[in-house]
Structure 1
């Protein structure tokens, strides 16, 4: 079974020409209309992609023969196919050095867009312009010849990616070490396991020193050690100033790696901007019931799609000031409640039989707080009201940074079988999560969620993102570094004295 509508289109249909598909998705722009500015890495202008969908194989033959006869007879040609627009009038620009994530539901057109950018697909309408060498991690290993050895495929693939023989030879040892497939490098690829093929293909693409790296869900390949090696190399490529464009369903990965994100749905760009915001809107759309999708799409969509992704840093505000602004000012070392510290970025999933309300942080005495002291224990409390009877209910919480990196949280049960067996309609539950504040000074956000079995599958009944914002107060004696205080203790002793040694 195909998991993506565009995969179906690629597998069973042929791309249409502009005259066959009409002008539904927008007209081409002349190449002269493009700016000559060299500060961009990828520029996509009014890109559309249309496929023919045939209900039966004989309709393909009819389409090949009958329209020509109908034209000869002076009749209006009839189409024996339906049009499927994988992309509709998509435009954006990515600057050099940016890391941009493309997210969206299955069938939204993400993979089609990447293939057009890489040149493996031609658009029906529009223009694409790239500035620099592209290395693509799309269908890993699809270009390998199974009869050739791994070494021969390395040379062939690297040549396709634009490297000279001298450049390939200079990088070969790095490719071999990264792939880590041992003596199999000199065996035919047809003898490889699927994991070995993926490792070798990734090693080739990642070692060509690309100006633009394009990745389509390839970060989930291999075992955990290899995945970490892949992430590390991509981070190094990012630091070198290369542009990275990738598709992922993992919101945390997009938030962690990307400077910007683009939300694509039904072949259109709904919104682009800061990864934390875009991922939250994507998750709201993803977990919404089908009947609410059009409404949520309208809420998400901006009046006009920007042609350039903004590069301003993410900031969180309360009372007109940055959420971190107060950290540099004189502070009260005791925990307290700041009425001006309120989340301005809360996003609510569409309720499905439950509603979360009254979320807050309390100390052990029951006092509400949002300015916490490192090392103390606190309680995150909220209520859940059930509008209908729901089986197998679980509650959860999650702490995130200002940029949206998920730090950790908790759940009321590991599996649905260990959860609350049934929540009656018109019932309410008070949920509490106690946690020790092991975070270093800074500003953080809390999510609240409730899951249960709805229409025969477990899903979010309601979820509130960034429902509570809190600050961890500065500590002048704090020697911990980074985000989380692991309680590290240092110690050292002198092994020898160079003066006495003389």
Structure 2
């Protein structure tokens, strides 16, 4: 049986919130006068983590994830409950913690490693490996206060992984690194995991959780709602994150009482609803399980509309091939992206376009209705309205994506955009079990191997 390295039993953490700074002073002098409100950052959290496990913590901002990591690392003390940690912890918490800004990068490495219990001779054996991994060049001998956020996280992560930790804790800090460095970090996390190091980290990336983690935990308002396999946890997290406010309490109560199974279409809870007098419509039922596409009201975009040059894009949406409006899709199925175009000027050589992209703006793929600038629709009169549809296959790995829409043509000048809208529509691709595909696009790869 694997050794338990982290054990929490009924951990709670509350903070006192004061309306005015003077209230804190007055409360200290007059003990009978309570001038604070209590904010419960964590509520009765209990779990165990075994040696060698990689566990991802997910949840909206303010859910209590960072507070929990700080308690595990010892930088915060719990209000109540019991905590047991076995082994050396190396932590990369919020950006700016752990290093003295007045020290140089080299001095901070020695300071950090010494705080982890390493002797100077051990540090000197590893210093070159740390500097090589961080790859910040001559800046290592400059004060840390002069570093960019990317340089800081490079040095901090390099130091954290080279102190021979039993437990590695990472709290979102890698999000500020560039893509190449993130890949380098995740490769090293995989190597640490394979060597028996326990890894505990916070991330908002579904792909990272499902590719790296053995298990995941979902937190919301200080409570541990779900502790299960990464696929189910990510699915429930996204449903909760994008659910309308009036449905969130239902989802929370279902997760607390029944776990992830309560949100699956074949669960006992779902069957009881189907047999009872539940008044929810089919779209509500679909939003509680993983097997069907559906429309999630809370998944809303904030479009960026460019100035019109003779056309306006209206009513962008995705439908199934049967015409049902959806924004939660099943990987591998075909859908239609539709929008209307109302023309306010007479224009020529009109082409319709779309782009699918990541939330950070990286364009993954798109389509334009004609390959040549002068081979579109010959002419469209003012006042005419068109509907355009793009049938596409959802060849994307689980996550949330955005769509753009554009209309190009000629309006008394050069060929250009007549109308353009960024982030017209958001959609989510549901998680899949035992996913082998990595990154964002599913290229339908088939692997084989043989002995030479």
Superposition TM-score, scaled by structure 1 size: 0.58
Q: Is the 8 A contact 1:356 1:384 kept in 2?
A: yes
Q: Which of the numbers 427, 432, 455 marks the counterpart of 2:391?
A: 432
CA separation of 1:412/1:212 partners in 2, compared to 1, >3 Å: closer, same or farther?
Answer: farther
Aligned partner of 2:29 in structure 1 is: 65
Q: Which of the numbers 282, 296, 303 marks the counterpart of 1:350?
A: 296
Q: Is the 8 A contact 2:244 2:297 kept in 1?
A: no
The answer to whether the aligner puts 1:213 opposite 2:168 as a matched pair is yes
CA distance in 1, matches of 2:57, 2:185: 19
Shift of 1:137: 0.8
Q: Is the 8 A contact 2:235 2:431 kept in 1?
A: no
The answer to whether the aligner puts 1:250 opposite 2:205 as a matched pair is yes
Secondary structure at the residue paired with 2:226? Answer: strand
CA distance in 2, matches of 1:359, 1:88: 45
Q: Which of the numbers 96, 115, 124 marks the counterpart of 2:70?
A: 115
CA separation of 1:445/1:115 partners in 2, compared to 1, >3 Å: closer, same or farther?
Answer: closer
Q: Say how many residue pairs are matched.
A: 342
CA-based RMSD: 4.3
Shift of 1:168: 1.1
Aligned partner of 1:89 in structure 2 is: 44
- Residues 195-243 of structure 1: CA deviation (Å, up to 9, x unaligned): 3222211111111121111010022232222222211211111111111
CA distance in 2, matches of 1:83, 1:430: 53
CA separation of 1:141/1:65 partners in 2, compared to 1, >3 Å: closer, same or farther?
Answer: closer
CA distance in 1, matches of 2:151, 2:138: 12
Secondary structure at the residue paired with 2:247? Answer: helix
Aligned partner of 2:416 in structure 1 is: none
Aligned partner of 1:465 in structure 2 is: 430
Aligned partner of 2:381 in structure 1 is: none
CA separation of 1:467/1:349 partners in 2, compared to 1, >3 Å: closer, same or farther?
Answer: farther
Secondary structure at the residue paired with 1:202? Answer: helix
Aligned partner of 1:149 in structure 2 is: 104
1:86-485 superposed matches below 5 A? 86-303=41-258, 345-346=291-292, 348=294, 350-351=296-297, 380-381=334-335, 432-434=391-393, 465=430, 484-485=444-445
Q: Is the 8 A contact 1:446 1:467 kept in 2?
A: yes
Aligned partner of 1:41 in structure 2 is: 5
Q: Is the 8 A contact 2:11 2:45 kept in 1?
A: yes
- Residues 94-137 of structure 1: CA deviation (Å, up to 9, x unaligned): 11111100000011000000000000000000111112111101
CA separation of 1:460/1:46 partners in 2, compared to 1, >3 Å: closer, same or farther?
Answer: farther
CA distance in 1, matches of 2:399, 2:139: 47
Range that drifts further, 192-201 or 123-132: 192-201
CA separation of 1:396/1:380 partners in 2, compared to 1, >3 Å: closer, same or farther?
Answer: farther
- Residues 58-91 of structure 1: CA deviation (Å, up to 9, x unaligned): 2112211222xxxxxxxxx341110000000000
CA distance in 1, matches of 2:399, 2:367: 14
Q: Is the 8 A contact 2:14 2:38 kept in 1?
A: yes
Shift of 1:381: 3.5
Q: Is the 8 A contact 1:271 1:301 kept in 2?
A: yes
Secondary structure at the residue paired with 2:12? Answer: strand
Q: Is the 8 A contact 2:231 2:431 kept in 1?
A: no
Shift of 1:359: 6.0
